[in-house]
């Protein structure tokens, strides 16, 4: 890989992480009911975006930069799992199960919608 690609990964990865932080905080500040709405919003928008990028059929380097660097650092599987596990530890079983079901089901729908839209562009 060239230095330009590594620089792109660095910049887009950092940008994705900052965007995740900002969206998570903005959503979490408005919804304080103990459910991880911020992480849900990040992961659903990331699934849509990655689907959209996949639908565009980008070249190899652009897909790496946009999909892996930006969206990969934007979305957060580990936080989703930790928050779900904590809900379970707190004996909040229905919110924990809801977090899993809603995240997976709506994530698949978001990715499909993104691919559909990206394929039309």
**Binding-site annotation: residue ranges for Na(+):** 72, 75
Tell me the Ramachandran region of residue 58: left when phi exceeds 0, alpha when psi lies from -120 to 50, beta otherwise: beta
The DSSP letter of residue 59 is: -
CB atoms within 10 A of CB 119: 13
Beta-carbon neighbour count of residue 20 at 10 Å? 23
Token duo for residue 61:
């380097």
Alpha-carbon 30 to chain mean position: 19
Residue length, the chain? 121
Binding site per annotation, positions: 72, 75
């Amino acid at each position: 890989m060239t230095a330009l690609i590594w620089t792109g990964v660095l910049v887009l990865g950092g940008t994705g992480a900052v965007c995740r932080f900002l969206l998570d905080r903005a959503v979490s500040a408005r919804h304080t009911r103990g459910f991880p709405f911020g992480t849900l919003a990040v992961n659903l928008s990331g699934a849509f975006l990655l689907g959209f990028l996949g639908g565009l059929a980008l070249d190899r380097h652009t897909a790496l930069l946009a999909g892996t660097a930006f969206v990969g650092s934007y979305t957060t599987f580990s936080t989703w799992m930790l928050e779900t596990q904590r809900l379970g530890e707190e004996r909040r079983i229905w919110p924990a199960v809801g977090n899993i079901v809603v995240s997976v089901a709506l994530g698949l729908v978001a990715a499909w919608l993104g691919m559909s839209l990206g394929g039309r562009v």
